[in-house]
Structure 1
Amino acid sequence: MKSELNDRVPLRQLIVFGAGGLIPIALFNIAGQLIGLIGNISLGLSAFWLGVILIIPRVWDAVSDPIVGHLSDNTRTRWGRRRPYVLVGGISVALSFVMMWWVPKHESVISWFPSEGAFQWFQLSYILVSVLIFFSACTVFEIPHGALGMEITPNSHERTRLFSAKSFFGNLFAMATPWLFALAGMEIFKGPGGSEADGMRYVSILIAIFLIPASIWWFLDLKEPENVEIKTVSNEKRSSFWADMKYIVQNKNFIYLVVTVFTLAMGFNFVSLLNYYISIFYIYGGDKAAAGPLLGINGTIWAITGLLAVFPLNWLSPKMGKRNTLILSIALMVLAQVAKIFCYSKEYPYLMVIPTILLSAGMLFFFTLSTSMLADICDEDDLRSGKRAEGSYYSVYWWFIKMGSAFASLVTGLLIIFTQFDEAQVTRVDDLRGSVNEIRAELGKAEPSKPLQEFLVKAEQKAEALKQHLATEFQGGESSSTHRELLLQNVDNIQNELKNLNAMQRIERIPPSVDVSLAQLTQQTPQSLFMMRLIEISLPIILSLISLLFALKYPLTNQRCEEIQEALKKRNAGLPQPSH
């Protein structure tokens, strides 16, 4: 069905609404993935406890989403129902995003605590509080913003176009986000002895400087709808929160859609972080600097595919129908997972772009259509009850998705532990490398700030701490004894070189063998890496197939959606309606 002229979304509104995809698509995913990755491999925090504490903001998010949706449905201001939340939420997201990365780690703070374990609990608590604030700010922005997108036009396919614009611009911003890990690892951001955790502090400030003016722009330029259906909202009686929630979860079509999305989202959320680990520790043997460009390029290709995929989506959806196009998207994602069997290659690392293209297109189709299909459910509900409750429907929809994400945070941590990944090895190697880089930096100065022997002693202490871990706390198991012996041999090589340097009267450079041994020390056990690949590939396939079964039962076909729209137009025009 072609869009009527008065239902067509103007280009300016398409752009300004679409640009809001920066927060739910780009920033939300950064927080969900990088905070766990950097907390684990840069701060040395337990993957399990990171997973546990990241559940709490997700659970809170699931509670706050329906509250914000209900409040925005029942808000009446001179600026509309949704726009005030967009302004306040956007600015809050900017400020809390910066706060999230300033995890205390200075030695002066460490001295406050009786043990390293107590200090790590303090860091975990800081991450918990800051992520809670960030996710709450995202909710205040995204729920009213998404509800507004369902209201702007009454036309089903125009809504797909509108949410495609949100996906388009969200992925446009997301093109930069995969490079954040690489940027955070650059010396200009992290300093000579710092880690990615230090670098992300300053990268986050740059993002906030962009986001605050963008929030003001969204508030000023977004227009609340003026069609007849939404005008009646101002005359609606305000409803109670619990009555709205009970009413929405009794909608069978809504439940079919939610279970379809929830199941598939869980499958990929469980393993989304493992792709970083596989890239860094399997393909590049633990060399984070070498893996950075691949992660960045792969992420950029993901984003470009997402940008381009909106065009075939808007062509396919009217022809095939939303449900059939959704089924096609699931097939693309399953194919992507199968392709990873051959494309995770040490010899040809950039083969990763093949499953990336398939997965990005499939996910763009899937999540854009599911939101557009939610608007169709709101239309059907309006026809039956005469009530517009986009905010409540959108928030309950995200309640289920975020509960799945909360559960996924725990499962991800458990999966990483199950694979016997050794984050303590990674952080101790980083500490040792940082000390070696400090020596190298001092050698380049005309007037060193301290005697080089002080830096050498510090590096020797770091090497000994790593050796003790590998000798007494290594988690690889009996079958990994050969791997452990190789690591210990490399530590011995570094210790010998450091002792030789300390005995010299004049030090001119760090021997190349030190860097070679450091590179060897980043490698994880073969068993751990195999388990990561097996889980990362197979788990999403299983849950995608379950999701497909529910998608096949979803009853709102293209024909039924057109009938609903025609009936709504007749009702609002005061014309007699056919009986069903």
Structure 2
Amino acid sequence: MNTGHRHHVTDPKDRVPLDQKIAYGLGMATPIAFGNALAQLTNLIFNIGLGINPILLGIAQMLPRFWDAISDPLAGYLSDNTRTRWGRRRPYVLFGGLATGVCFGAIWHVSPTLGPWGTLLFYLGTTLLFYTAVTVYTVPLQALGFEMTRDYHERTRLFAFGSFIGNVFAILTPWMYWMAKREAVFPDEITGMKFVGSGVGILIMGMAVFCGMRCKERYYAELERQPHLKFWESLKAVMQSRTFLRLLACIFLVTAGYSFVNGFANYIIIYYVFAGEKSAASTVMGINGTAWAIAALVAVFPMAWWSRRHGKPSTIRLAVILMMAGNLLKVVCYNPALPMLTLIPTVLISAGMLMLYTMGPAMVADVCNEDELVNGVRREGCFSSMYSWWLKFAGSSALLVAGALLVATRFNHAVAVQTGFTLFWLRTYEIALPTLLCAGGLVFMIRYPLTEDRAYENKRLLDERRQAAENPTGDETP
């Protein structure tokens, strides 16, 4: 059947070497796997394990995002204007990655003797340092991915590599809580997470070093001549891009929807499906987490096929529909008699999220070309920072709502058996809110303007402009 979509073939000169794709994928493992692990483990360790009030914990999770409002744009601006013998991005990837690993390990070294307020302040301080390090690392890393190739489809392949390898490591992250809960090894999950978190921190550092050493900034010599960009002028240009704002609005709403009920699935599995039996629940949570990662790995391949055949905007729409379907199926899949039914929505939502968060950066890279065509400069760092910050803000601001919603359900961490009221509203919020906001996000992707044909036309015009700049007389090179 003719879909009306014309497929363009990637020029060999625009392809990224395999070793660099692998290195970039290892670098992306931290934001994909371990950054998300922190959000999931926070409630399990600090609320269920240490009894910190969920509203206060939500505030502590949200506050670093106010700092992100400064640090993210600053990181993007600085990396856009950095000029070193190693390029614009790689120094930040290397040193930011090392700091990220150290800070991740430090978060879990909390002393039970600190008391509720001391524990809360410790969590706030260490996560503030962690998220600052993540910003220094991931904003330039994502911008590096934007500029490793200028081809529409090769960008999809590069970010698909990042998603695939990142989700290989994501297979391990759901089992972090399971490992910390092994009573034969550790006296409790608090002690266990100190060792597990430290090991993950070392792994983060190793992958960051490899990524920073292997990935190349192919067009740095050309961009080195670009004048330094002004901070506010660059941010204004980014936020005036209507194409960027439509993409951002879609992903922002979806992210907020799932963040509103952050961690609720774990509460439901523990207290509804398993009636408070944490050990048995942790096994099913681990299986679900592994299924999540495997589904994401498998989804890379149909995503790449669909994107080549139907384009990136259509792939985003498919992703959101899959997530909505998975969420609605939870009505029947949260079943105490058949706990493994939870795998069905897990697989669908995982596949949808993989597609959404892989296509998002690949499409922002195309917007960078459009911006260069209009304004004559490359500012991948600023686009990366604003994209990252708005998604972080969606997640963190919703965490405060999540804490309030959890309190509204009358959840009591001190008892193993929750009331019927609590269990009903946990499920209602966890199913309804993401579904509604996904529907809202889907609206913004209807008739998305930056199609494959338009992206390749932008690339052609930019190539002609660069050739004219290199040979202003128009003479043919012998």
Amino acid at match of 2:158: L
Q: Are the equivalent residues in 1 in contact too, given 2:317–2:445 (CA < 8 A)?
A: yes
Deviation at 1:139, TM superposition (A): 0.7
1:189: how far off? Answer: 4.4
In structure 1, the residue corresponding to 2:450 is in which secondary structure?
coil
**Alignment counterpart, residue 224 of structure 1, candidates 217, 221, 241:** 217
Deviation, structure 1 residue 188: 4.4
CA shift, 1:210, in A, is 2.2
C-alpha contact 1:256 1:553 (8 A) present in aligned 2: no
CA offsets 1:366-400 (integer angstroms, 9 cap, x no match): 11111111011000111122100001001011111
Aligned to 1:551: 445
| Higher mean C-alpha displacement, 565-574 vs 539-548 | 565-574
Tell me the amino acid that sits aligned with residue 120 of structure 2: L
How many Å separate the matches in 2 of 1:302 and 1:351?
13
Query: 2:200 matched to 1:210?
Result: no
Q: After superposition, give the CA deviation of every residue in 1:264-317 in whole Å (9 maximum; x if it has no partner).
A: 110011113101100111101111100111011101011011111111111110
Instruction: Establish whether residue 330 from structure 1 lines up as the match of residue 337 from structure 2.
Output: no
Question: Within 5 A, what are the aligned runs for 1:92-241?
Answer: 92-106=99-113, 119-191=115-187, 194=188, 196-226=189-219, 230-241=220-231
- 1:20 is paired with a residue whose SS is helix
SS in 2 for 1:168: helix
State the SS of the aligned residue for 1:554.
Answer: coil
Cα deviation for residue 352 of structure 1 reads 0.7
Q: Give 1:491's aligned residue.
A: none
Partners in 2 of 1:165 and 1:242 — Cα distance? 33
Distance 2:163 2:451 in 1: 23
Structure 1 SS opposite 2:468: coil
Question: How far off is 1:33 after superposition?
Answer: 2.0
Decide whether the 8 Å contact of 2:95 with 2:137 is kept in 1.
Answer: yes
Partner of 1:373: 363
- Cα distance per residue 1:233-261 (max 9 Å; x no partner): 21111122112111211111111111111
Match of 2:257? 267
What is the aligned partner in structure 2 of residue 296 from structure 1? Answer: 286
Spell out structure 1 runs of 4+ moving beyond 4 A: none
Query: How far apart in 1 are the matches of 2:138 and 2:269?
Result: 31
1:400 equivalent in alignment to 2:390: yes
Distance 1:266 1:209 in 2: 31
Contact 1:189 1:202 in 2 (8 A): no
Retained in 1: the 8 A contact 2:80–2:229? no
Match of 2:4 in 1: none
Amino acid at match of 1:173: F
CA distance in 1, matches of 2:69, 2:177: 28
Q: Distance in 2 between the 1:262 and 1:300 partners?
A: 26
TM-score after normalising by structure 1 = 0.78
Task: Tell me the equivalent position of 1:516.
Answer: none
Q: Is the CA contact 2:105–2:199 (under 8 Å) kept in the aligned structure 1?
A: no
Deviations 1:523-553 (A, max 9, x none): 1111101100011001011001110111114
- 1:63 and 2:56 correspond: no
Contact 2:26–2:208, Cα closer than 8 Å, also in 1: no
Residue type at the aligned position of 1:307: L
- Equivalents in 1 of 2:62, 2:341: separation in Å? 33
Match of 2:271 in 1: 281
Q: Which amino acid aligns with 1:218?
A: C
Q: 1:534 aligns with which of 421, 424, 428?
A: 428
> How many angstroms does 1:222 deviate by?
1.4
Whether contact under 8 Å (1:3, 1:155) holds in the other structure is yes
Q: Give, in whole Å, the separation in 2 of the partners of 1:409 and 1:15.
A: 33
SS at match of 1:235: coil
Instruction: Give the deviation of 1:232 after TM superposition.
Output: 2.8
Asked whether the 8 Å contact 1:36–1:51 carries over to 2, the reply is no
CA shift for structure 1 position 198: 1.8
Tell whether 2:464 aligns with 1:573. Answer: no
- Counterparts of 1:346-495 in structure 2 under 5 Å? 346-423=336-413, 425-426=414-415
Q: Counterparts of 1:553 and 1:53 in 2: how far apart (Å)?
A: 39
SS, match of residue 197 in structure 2: helix
Aligned residue for 2:446, secondary structure, equals: helix
Residue type matched to 2:466 in 1?
A: N
Greater radius of gyration (CA): 1
User: CA 1:54–1:317 in structure 2 vs 1: closer, same or farther (change >3 Å)?
Assistant: same
Rounded to whole Å, the distance in 2 between the matches of 1:290 and 1:340 is 20
Q: What are the ranges of 5 or more consecutive residues in structure 2 without an aligned counterpart?
A: 1-7, 472-478
**Consecutive unaligned residues in structure 1, runs of 5 or more:** 110-118, 427-521
**How many equivalent pairs are there?**
463
Indicate if the aligned counterparts of 2:102 and 2:202 stay in contact, CA closer than 8 A: no
Shift of 1:206: 1.5
Whole-angstrom distance in 1 between the partners of 2:75 and 2:28: 18
State the shift of 1:61 in Å: 2.1
Which amino acid in the other structure matches residue 197 of structure 1? I
* Counterpart-to-counterpart distance in 2, 1:45 and 1:553: 46
TM-score, length basis structure 2: 0.95
Contact 1:189 1:203 in 2 (8 A): no
- For the residues of structure 2 that align with 1:38 and 1:140, how far apart are their CA atoms? 26
Is the partner of 2:445 in helix, strand or coil?
helix
| Contact kept? 2:87, 2:217, Cα under 8 Å | yes
Task: Give 1:504-543 correspondences, 5 Å limit.
Answer: 522-543=416-437
Look up the equivalent residue of 2:205 and give its one-letter code.
I
Give the percent of matched residue pairs that are identical in Structure 1 and Structure 2: 41
